[in-house]
Amino acid sequence: MIGAIAGDIIGSVYEFRPIKTTDFPLFTEESTYTDDTVLTVATGAVLLDGGDYASSYRRWGLRYPDMSYGSMFRQWLRSKDLGPYGSYGNGSAMRVVPIGWAFDTLNEVLREAERSARATHDHPEGIKGAQVTAGSVFLARTGAGKDGIRAFAGSLGYDLDRTLTEIRPGYRFDETCQGSVPESLLAFLESDDFEGAVRNAVSLGGDADTMACIAGGIAEAFYGGVPLGIRDQVLRLLTVEMGAMVARFAARYGGGHNMNGRPGLEEEQ
């Protein structure tokens, strides 16, 4: 899941300062993890240690209360009611990438992605966003080509018959699944490497950290890792407990590889 976290951190600078170009510094002094990383780690914690998603999201969310959570999720965090609230925000998709690594069949991935979404985002679009994202990660890591990933997302109702060039001029910040997950997939589909996928996602000028998180998560699985320079910079920005969770996840499920000839996280542990 280091690819998703890398996308989040790279996109964090541009979440509320949108840009319309792929030419930007990957890291600045302001680069940081956001709620996307916190909740991605929370998903990984369930897959590693068991438990239910609602409790894990609440536990990790309250450990990092000052993130840019959506208003409804923030209320949910501090409520005694752990029930879902009908959201179709892209929070269900931004945290789901680890599920695409943790199961052996697409059907298992889709069931678990729905389970993770229903903790909070039980609207059909919230569930779809999570399923398409996790399913795309699974297909990417198991050898499906881009045409196969495009067809899968289309079969669940996403229109991917567009190009980034067509979308970019008029695209604006949209934190719904239906308004950001398809565009994040296109950012990956039009890329040639991991870095290109993340740059494409940020360049749309939308919910940059979340869209780069989704695109980065799929790109890591498809391209076989995260470039060493990006990976190491990301790990330096994480807290100790986050870094430990990422390493444990990589050791059990894979991912965490780099693309520069050095061992990945799982081999280093």
What number is the average pLDDT over the span 86-102? 97
Residue partners of 202: CB distance under 8 A and separation at least 6: 10, 11, 14, 19, 22, 24, 208, 211, 212
Predicted confidence at residue 256, as pLDDT, reads: 62
The encoded tokens of residue 70 equal 């959506």
What number is the average pLDDT over the span 214-232? 97
CATH class in words for 2-15+34-268: mainly alpha
pLDDT tens digit string along 98-144?
A: 999 999 999 999 999 999 999 999 999 999 999 999 999 999 999 99
Residue partners of 246: CB distance under 8 A and separation at least 6: 1, 2, 5, 41, 44, 235, 238, 256, 265
Question: Of all residues in the chain, what percent are helix, strand and coil, respectively (each to 5)?
Answer: 60, 0, 40
pLDDT tens digit string along 29-71?
A: 999 999 999 999 999 999 999 999 999 999 999 999 999 998 9
At residue 89, φ and ψ (nearest 5 deg) are -70, 160
Write the single-letter amino acid at 206: G
What number is the average pLDDT over the span 142-160? 96
Of the candidates 98, 115, 103, 108, which has an alpha carbon nearest to the alpha carbon of residue 55?
Answer: 115
pLDDT band at 80 (very low <50, low <70, confident <90, very high): confident
Evaluate whether 185 touches 207 at the Cβ level (below 8 Å): no
Task: Delimit the domains of the chain by residue range.
Answer: 2-15+34-268
Supply the pTM of this predicted model: 0.95
pLDDT value at 82 more than 80: no
